[in-house]
Each structure stands twice: as structure tokens, then as C-alpha cells.
Amino acid sequence: MGQNSMIDQTAFERLLFWLNPDRDQAAQKYEAVRRRLVEIFASRGFPDAGRLADDTIDRVISKVEKVSDGWVGDPAHFFLGVARKIMLERSKPAPTVLPPPPPDEDDIERREREDRCLEKCLGLLSGENRKLILEYVDGKTKERLEQAQSLKLTPNALRIRVYEIKKTIRPCVEKCLEEETR
């Protein structure tokens, strides 16, 4: 057994002694407490009642050294308090994930204007340049490398060519947007 197993076993022995100094009676008390915890969790509608009972016992074991010396009364009440805390933790509603707010009308209209202007300006390009820029923008690195190879260009030469095309489109889109907002 490893070091942790010894610590766990020692803590478990401490728990049994807290339940009752007589080992047999402590074992009976332990089983009764566990059964009661399972019943409580099950009656509250938790489908994993056995696991929650074990979680409760594990938490009590981790605290028994601190609690047992000053505890007055039946230790079973401490188990019930820990179980109550676990039920509260489990009963908290999951955080509500709200959908993003719908875009406001101004945002929708602005995007529609941008799309119209971009489409208009792309239409002014030669068919070859239009195809090149659209494939480049939609592509990923691997696809861009294949695109460069098919055009017999280096990847850097393709980037420069795309940059030059974008340089001609940008002023066109900006001018169009100015005209549309008047």
C-alpha cells in the first residue's frame, strides 16, 4: 500500500472510532449511516444516490480529525449536514447560457451595405483576379499553397498579388460606402 492508502485507512479508522469505540458497533453504525444517506438522496430525486452517499462519507472522513474531538451528540447528524450541503451544491441551477443578442438594425444594415459594395467592387475586377482573390480569402494554408502552385507562383508572390488586388478593392469599397450612407 502507498502512503496515501495508509493515510486514507488511518482516517477511515478514525471515522469508525468516532462512530463507536467498539469496532463491530462502529461498522454497523457506518452501514446504517450510509443506507440512510442513500435513502435521503434517492428520496430527493438524485439518480446517483449511492455515489452521493459515498461522496458525503469521503468529505466527513476528510474532516473527522478536526470535528470528532469537539463534537457533541450523534456523529450521524454531522453526516446529514454534509449531505445537505452536497444537495444544495447539486441543486444549484446550471448557469444559463444566453444566446448572443440579435444584431441591431444599424449593424445589419451596415453589413448589408458592406456586402453590396464589396460585391460591386469585386465585379469590376477581371475574372481571373476575382477568382484568385475569392479562392485566396476562402482558402486555408494548404489550399493557398496549391493555389500558388497552380498559378506557377511562389507563396510569397501569391500574397503580393492578393495584396495588390486588395489595394485596388479597398478604396472602391470605401467610396461606395460613403455614397450609400448619403
Sequence ranges of the domains in the chain: 3-91, 105-181
DSSP state of 125: S
Name every residue whose Cβ is closer than 8 Å to that of residue 40 and which is 6 or more positions away in sequence. 49, 80, 83
Amino acid in the structure at residue 2: G
- Confirm if 118 and 100 have CB atoms less than 8 A apart: no
pLDDT 10s digit of each residue in the chain, 182 long? 334 445 578 888 999 999 999 999 999 999 999 999 999 999 998 989 999 999 999 999 999 988 888 888 899 999 999 999 999 988 766 666 777 777 777 778 888 888 899 999 999 999 889 888 888 887 777 788 888 888 898 888 888 888 888 898 899 999 998 888 77
CATH architecture of 105-181: Orthogonal Bundle (1.10)
Burial 31-52 (b: 16+ CB within 10 A, else e): eebbeebbebbeeeebeebeeb
